[in-house]
């Protein structure tokens, strides 16, 4: 899915942020700015975005040419869930996470990285085939 190429290879970074700043994760504009800055930091090209205030949290997605970034916040619990999925080997999803970390100021971050578009990038749970 690289622009101008045929690579399906990508990185899907899943992040759990705990002990986040309540004000930062409850304010729609703060969350939107952080996610846009994070998309640019990864080297991705923003196509569209959609953010919704949940009172007290925010949920949103940024669609990029290279895939997407999403966020869901629970300020009352100090928690944010973030996905950064970038296709192509020239993108840096970890750079996105640094921007988000600086904006939300969590006490602890847990991450999982999944290699997408490459057989073996996921631990396969089953070889289920759809019924025909």
Catalytic residues: 67, 72, 87
Q: In what order do the strands lie in the sheet containing 79-87? A: 46-53, 58-64, 67-74, 79-87, 10-18, 108-116
Tell me the backbone φ, ψ of residue 119, rounded to 5 degrees: -60, 130
CA gap 65, 16 in Å, rounded? 24
């Amino acid at each position: 899915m690289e622009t101008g190429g045929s690579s399906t290879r990508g990185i899907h970074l899943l992040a759990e942020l705990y002990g986040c700043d309540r004000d930062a994760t409850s304010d729609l504009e703060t969350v939107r700015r952080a996610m846009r800055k994070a998309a640019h930091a990864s080297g991705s090209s923003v196509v569209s975005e959609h953010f919704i205030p949940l009172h007290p949290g925010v949920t949103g997605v940024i669609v990029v040419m290279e895939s997407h970034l999403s966020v869901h916040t629970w300020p009352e619990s100090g928690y944010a869930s973030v996905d950064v999925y970038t296709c192509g080997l020239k993108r840096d999803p970890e750079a996105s996470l640094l921007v988000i970390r600086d904006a939300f100021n969590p006490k602890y971050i847990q991450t999982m990285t999944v290699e997408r578009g490459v057989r073996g990038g996921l631990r396969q749970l089953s070889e289920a085939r759809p019924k025909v």
